[in-house]
Amino acid sequence: MSPSHRVVIAVFPDVDLLDVTGPAEVFALANRVTSGRAGYEVRLAGPDGGEVRTSAGVRLVADLSFAETGARVDTLLVPGAVDLTDAGPVARVDQDVVAWVKETAPHARRVASVCVGAHVLAAAGLLDGRTATTHWSTAAQLAAEHPNVTVDPDPIFVRTDQGRLWTGAGISACLDLALALVAEDQGEDAALAVARQLVMYLRRQGGQSQFSVPLSRPATSRRDLDELCLWITDHLDEDLSARALAARMCLSERHFARVFTQETGVGPAAYVEAARVEMARRLLETTDAPLDEVAEAAGLGSAETLHRAFRRRLTTTPAAYRRRFRAQAA
């Protein structure tokens, strides 16, 4: 069977290795789980063809040079590279890659960036007037350098231009983006079958946050408080009042509330509610459980409390959230 989806992935010096190999593996597994019907053909394109050294030190071999790519491209995938500075990672924008993307993108059915590859798409003018995401660590750079781009640093990926243009967050989110592309082409069953082959906990939807609640805040200066935050996520259906948590920390309730707020930036009640809403979101995305059962499992008690929490934190209702993010074949 001849390939029906030619995926061309850009490779260039110091490109992030997983940004290239992660999506390539997803497309290969899609071929496997559909017995070849998916028809993905993955090719690597580099500045001159031949070997390219990645950021991990592993060398990849480009199948094509940029000049040899031609117009037969179904999906153009653009990963990224960063330079590490004292101020943190800075997305690298190679002008040769930008020129190639600008020339090739009009011939592709769709274009997707992985991680800081969004900076290349922006430099090529593809993101002007659109919403895009990238790795959280370079989102401010993207917004500052491209004021015509609406940068949202939170989602796993963003789909725009009637599905022709995708931008993805960093590192492991490349798998989520590639799975979403497979779902668009082959349906949810195929994407979920690939996710199972990858032993992924679930196929995250694009609107999900890049961070879970414990990871969305920097580590505190107290190990016991970090351990408490992780414990909270495993015991959401228990008594997590400030009094109960203070007793677990062997502190007075007033002192505990002061320390918790100073270290995490939010009060104990707000942190617990955020963690419970995150659990409720996961249940709404992956199960058909009634709202009262979701509320109970997440520690929110009742469907009414669940509604109030969703309105307050997500400005939507649990039912509307489920309709948007529930995987149809889960």
Please list the residues that pair with 220 across neighbouring strands.
none
| DSSP for 263-289, written as a single string | HHSS-HHHHHHHHHHHHHHHHHHH---
- d(CA 6, CA 45) in angstroms, rounded, equals 12
Distance CA 169, CA 152 (A): 10
- Among this protein's residues, is 229 annotated catalytic? no
Bridge partners of 131, per DSSP, are: 150
CA 251 to mean position of chain CA atoms = 38
For residue 28, what are its two tokens?
């290969």
Q: Minimal CA–CA distance to 136: which of 123, 119, 152, 120?
A: 152
Q: What DSSP state is assigned to residue 155?
A: B
Indicate which residue of 115, 174, 229, 250 is catalytic.
Answer: 115
Instruction: Look at residue 66 and give its three-state secondary structure.
Output: helix
Query: What whole-number distance in Å separates Cα of residue 257 and Cα of residue 325?
Result: 35
Identify the CA nearest to 171 among candidates 209, 133, 127, 116: 116
**DSSP E strands, the chain:** 5-10, 40-46, 50-53, 59-62, 64-65, 75-78, 82-85, 88-91, 110-113, 131-132, 150-151, 157-160, 165-168
CB proximity list for 125: less than 8 A, separation 6 or greater: 102
Token pair in block for residue 322: 């489920």
Q: Annotated catalytic sites, by residue?
A: 115
